[in-house]
C-alpha cells in the first residue's frame, strides 16, 4: 500500500515570527513520528520545506535569531499548502509599507499553480496585499482588525474566528491559532485520530473555536481619526446611561447620516452594535478585576435586563459570564 504524502511549505523572510515557522514544522515532525510508530509500513508522509522567495539560505527572525536550512523557491514547486508566517511589527504600517514584491509574486504564482495558501497572525496582512483574499472570508490577529478592515475592504473579515478555510485560501488568528491549522493539516494528510494524538502529545487545545474571549478593545490597533476619538471618549464616559444616535451625533457635531457612515467605515459596525460591544468590554474588565455580582456588573454597563445582557455577553465572547470570570479573573499570587 502506497502511503500518501502531504507537502507543506513555509514562506520565510527576514522579520518573520520564527515561532510560526518552526512551530508548525515541529508539530508535523511529531505527527510523522507518531504515524511511523502506529503504522510503520503505510504511515502518511509529512514533508516540510522552509523556503525563500529571494533565494536566501537563512533568514533573521524578529528577535535577531537566525534560521538556517532555508531553501530557495524551486522553479516548479509542488506543495499541498503554503503558509505565510506572522510578521514582527510595532504598527501595521511597518508591514503595509514594506517591500514584499518577491514574496507577493511567489504567492500569486503558487496560487495560480493550484497551491492552497494559508496565512497566520499578522502574515494575513501580507496575504491580503497579494489580492488573493479579495472576495474571500478571512480572519486575522484580533488586534489588527481595524487596520485590516480599513486597508482591505474587499475581504470579508471576521476577527472573532480562530480559523477560516475558504477553499483555496486559509487564514488564522493570533499567533498560537496556527496550531489549529496544523491539526487540520494532520487530519487531512493523515487522520482525525492522528491529529487527536498530536494535540494530546503537545497539549494543544483542539476545541478552541474563537478568538472572541481574548479580544480587548483597549489593545486594538485603531486608525487615528478625530471623530473616532470623540465617539470613543463620549461612550467611555456615558456607557452606564442610555445613549441615542441623535445624542451622539449632536455631541460630535455631525449629522446622524454622516455618523452612521463613519461607524461602518472606521468601526465596521453600526452605532448600536459598537455600543453593545463596548458594554461587553466593560463587563469583561469588571468580571476580571472585581468581585461584583453579575447583576451589579450589568447595571454599571448601562443595562437593566440581566438575562438579555447575559445572552449578548455569550454571543460576543462565546463564554458565559461565569466561565469568563473563571478563566480570566485576576488572581492573587
Mean pLDDT per segment of 10 residues, for the chain of length 333 residues? 82 97 97 93 94 97 95 93 96 95 98 97 98 98 91 94 96 94 94 94 84 71 71 87 89 90 84 90 90 93 92 91 88 54
Provide the pLDDT for residue 241: 85
Q: How do the domains of the chain map onto residue ranges?
A: 5-214, 224-328
CATH 3.30.70.100 fits 5-214, yes or no: no
Provide the pLDDT for residue 213: 81
Q: Which class does domain 224-328 fall in?
A: mainly alpha
Tell me how many helices (H) and strands (E) the chain has.
14, 11
Provide the pLDDT for residue 3: 65
Provide the pLDDT for residue 333: 46
Angle at 85 between CA 16 and CA 55, to 5 degrees: 65
Strand spans (E) along the chain:
5-11, 45-52, 59-60, 66-67, 71-72, 81-84, 116-119, 137-138, 156-157, 163-165, 169-172
Task: Tell me the torsion sign for CA atoms 25, 29, 30, 31.
Answer: positive
5 forms bridges with which residues in the sheet? 45
State how far the Cα of 9 lies from the Cα of 51, in Å rounded to an integer: 7
Which of 332, 312, 333, 314 lies closest to 323 in space, CA to CA? Answer: 314
Q: What is the pTM of this model?
A: 0.76
Cα of first residue to Cα of last residue in the chain, in angstroms, is: 56
Those residues with Cβ within 8 angstroms of residue 238's Cβ, 6 or more apart along the chain or in another chain: none
8 Å CB contact between 28 and 13: no
Q: Exposed, middle or buried, 253 (CB in 10 Å: 0-12/13-18/19+)?
A: exposed
How long is the chain?
333
State how far the Cα of 108 lies from the Cα of 164, in Å rounded to an integer: 20
Which of 123, 91, 80 lies closest to 104 in space, CA to CA? Answer: 123
82 forms bridges with which residues in the sheet? 9, 117
**Residue with the three cell numbers 502511503:** 3
**Residue with the three cell numbers 470570570:** 325
Cell of 124: 494575513
Those residues with Cβ within 8 angstroms of residue 254's Cβ, 6 or more apart along the chain or in another chain: 227, 262
Amino acid at each position: 500500500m502506497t502511503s500518501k504524502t502531504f507537502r507543506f511549505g513555509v514562506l520565510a523572510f527576514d522579520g518573520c515570527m520564527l515561532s510560526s515557522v518552526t512551530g508548525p514544522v515541529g508539530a508535523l515532525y511529531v505527527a510523522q513520528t507518531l504515524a511511523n510508530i502506529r503504522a510503520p509500513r503505510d504511515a502518511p508522509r509529512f514533508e516540510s520545506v522552509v523556503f525563500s522567495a529571494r533565494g536566501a539560505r537563512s533568514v533573521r527572525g524578529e528577535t535577531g535569531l537566525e534560521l538556517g536550512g532555508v531553501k530557495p523557491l524551486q522553479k516548479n514547486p509542488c506543495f499541498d499548502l503554503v503558509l505565510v508566517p506572522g510578521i514582527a511589527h510595532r504598527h501595521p504600517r511597518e508591514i503595509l509599507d514594506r517591500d514584499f514584491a518577491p514574496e507577493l509574486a511567489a504567492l500569486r504564482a503558487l496560487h495560480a499553480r493550484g497551491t492552497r495558501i494559508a496565512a497566520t497572525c499578522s502574515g494575513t496582512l501580507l496575504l491580503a496585499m497579494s489580492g488573493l483574499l479579495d472576495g474571500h472570508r478571512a480572519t486575522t490577529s484580533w488586534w489588527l482588525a481595524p487596520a485590516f478592515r480599513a486597508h482591505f475592504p474587499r475581504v470579508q473579515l471576521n476577527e472573532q474566528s480562530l480559523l477560516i478555510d475558504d477553499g483555496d485560501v486559509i487564514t488564522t488568528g493570533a499567533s498560537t491559532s496556527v496550531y489549529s491549522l496544523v491539526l487540520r493539516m494532520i487530519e487531512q494528510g493523515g487522520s482525525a485520530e492522528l491529529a487527536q494524538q498530536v494535540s494530546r502529545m503537545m497539549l494543544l487545545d483542539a476545541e478552541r473555536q474563537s478568538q472572541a474571549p481574548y479580544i480587548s478593545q483597549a489593545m486594538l490597533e485603531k486608525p487615528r481619526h478625530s471623530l473616532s476619538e470623540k465617539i470613543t471618549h463620549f461612550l467611555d464616559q456615558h456607557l452606564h446611561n442610555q445613549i441615542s444616535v441623535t445624542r451622539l451625533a449632536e455631541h460630535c457635531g455631525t449629522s446622524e447620516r454622516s455618523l452612521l457612515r463613519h461607524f461602518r467605515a472606521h468601526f465596521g459596525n453600526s452605532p448600536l452594535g459598537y455600543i453593545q460591544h463596548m458594554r461587553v468590554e466593560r463587563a469583561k474588565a469588571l468580571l476580571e478585576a472585581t468581585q461584583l455580582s453579575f447583576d451589579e456588573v450589568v447595571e454599571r454597563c448601562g443595562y437593566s435586563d440581566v438575562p438579555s445582557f447575559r445572552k449578548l455577553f455569550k454571543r460576543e465572547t462565546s463564554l458565559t459570564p461565569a466561565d469568563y470570570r473563571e478563566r480570566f479573573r485576576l488572581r492573587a499570587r
